[in-house]
């Protein structure tokens, strides 16, 4: 069981960190490309894998919930946000609120990340054109 407790902590830390990075990674210029990649991977997984597993499917949630069931957890919510908020604070988010926060956060972060990555690309391109030639 010790191994499953380690996996539980790993998923809790990794998945929560990924969620936070998806939401605010665009704030850091050096991490913007990586942020855009993780956002696109997340959105792709939610939609493409969602064809077979249901819209919003996340393998990290699925794997973590498998571990939690082995540890004796039951009646886990569909939303990982509901689970993690309850686990960390004891608060119960309703499913509609959790879904609005989750989807809204992804869409807003993706739009901001695309805009900032585009501006970074344009600035880099402009600076290359203005660089003195030998």
Residues of the domain holding 44:
2-130
Cite the DSSP H helix spans in 25-94: 32-44, 50-53, 59-70, 80-89
Query: What is residue 127's predicted lDDT score, i.e. its pLDDT?
Result: 81
Q: What is the pLDDT averaged over residues 31-41? A: 97
Query: Each residue of 22-58: b (16+ CB within 10 Å) or e?
Result: bbebbeeeeebeebbebbeebbebbeebeeeeeebbb
Q: What integer best gives the mean pLDDT of the chain?
A: 94
Whether the pLDDT of residue 130 is over 70: the answer is no
Report how far residue 21's alpha carbon sits from residue 38's, in angstroms, rounded to the nearest whole number.
Answer: 9
Domain count, the chain: 1
| Whole-structure pTM value | 0.89
According to DSSP, residue 55 is labeled T
The model's pLDDT over 49-99, given as tens digits with 9 standing for 90+, comes to 989 998 999 999 999 999 999 999 999 999 999 999 999 999 999 999 999
With tokens 């509901």, the residue in question is 82
Q: What is the pLDDT averaged over residues 1-29? A: 97
Query: What is residue 85's predicted lDDT score, i.e. its pLDDT?
Result: 96
Whether the pLDDT of residue 134 is over 90: the answer is no
Whether the pLDDT of residue 128 is over 80: the answer is no
């Amino acid at each position: 069981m010790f191994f499953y407790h380690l996996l539980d902590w790993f998923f809790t830390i990794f998945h929560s960190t990924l969620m936070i990075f998806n939401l605010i990674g665009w704030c850091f210029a050096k991490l913007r490309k990586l942020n855009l990649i993780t956002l696109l991977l997340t959105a792709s997984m939610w939609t493409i894998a969602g064809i077979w597993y249901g819209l919003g499917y996340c393998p990290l949630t699925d794997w973590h919930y498998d571990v939690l069931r082995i540890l004796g957890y039951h009646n886990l919510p569909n939303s990982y946000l509901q689970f993690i908020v309850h686990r960390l604070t004891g608060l119960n988010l309703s499913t509609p609120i959790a879904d609005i926060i989750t989807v809204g956060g992804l869409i807003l972060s993706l739009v901001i990340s695309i805009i900032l990555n585009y501006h970074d690309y344009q600035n880099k391109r402009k600076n290359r054109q203005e660089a003195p030639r030998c």
